[in-house]
Amino acid sequence: MTTVAAGRSKTYDLVYIAVFAVVMAVCSWISIPAQVPFTLQTFGVFMAVGVLGGKRGTLAVLVYVLLGAVGVPVFAGFSGGIGALLGNAGGYIIGFIFSALVMWAIEHVFGRKPVVQIISMIVGLIVCYAFGTAWFMFAYTRSTGPVGLMAVLGWCVFPFIIPDLIKIALAYVLSGKVRKYAR
């Protein structure tokens, strides 16, 4: 690869990573307020990894979370800052990073076959749920008082399962179509 082509490739990578960080921000702004808001953030994460692949998709998620951490209002409700990450729902935002990492690892081991992509998105979602739920229990207990696992699952996971599975299906279909145009 020539120096010009390598530079162009890196530029494309940076642009795609930035574009998907913005896509995740827009997806977070489409929200229904709740204890853990209903958003399209997970859809944005699935699209980033589905279109860009594991490495670039994970970097896009990391850029998105870091932008929010430094105060750029990219999270649900146009919020940002460390306070958003330390709040009850902050674990789900941090969980996006681990979700993307797991999807990247699965892609690295098993390739980008269609069934592998769907399974990696489902496993990534489970990782996000686990990390976010554990953090929610910790943060809620610290600020409000003890809460049981079943109560937290009832607030933070069960209502989201069907919408998140729909997001996975849509992300799978759309990422396959968009990937053709993103080199």
Put simply, whether the predicted model's pTM sits higher than 0.85 gets the answer yes
Supply the DSSP string of 9-49, one letter for each residue. HHHHHHHHHHHHHHHHHHHHHSEE-SSS-EESHHHHHHHHH
Alpha-carbon radius of gyration of the chain: 17
Q: What is the sign of the dihedral through the CA atoms of 40, 103, 169 and 159?
A: negative
**Average of pLDDT values for 60-73?**
98
User: Are 16 and 60 in contact, with CB atoms under 8 Å apart?
Assistant: yes
How far apart are alpha carbons 59 and 15 in whole angstroms?
A: 12
Would you kindly state where each structural domain of the chain is located, as residue ranges?
Answer: 3-179
pLDDT of residue 3: 67
Length of the chain as a residue count: 183
User: Are 62 and 69 in contact, with CB atoms under 8 Å apart?
Assistant: no
How far apart are alpha carbons 114 and 176 in whole angstroms?
A: 9
Q: What is the pLDDT of residues 111-123, one digit of tens each?
A: 999 999 999 999 9
In angstroms, how far apart are the furthest CA atoms of the chain? 60
The model's confidence at residue 36, banded by pLDDT at 50, 70 and 90, is confident
Structurally, what CATH architecture does the domain formed by 3-179 represent?
Orthogonal Bundle (1.10)
Q: Has residue 137 got a pLDDT over 70? A: yes
**Average of pLDDT values for 136-155?**
94
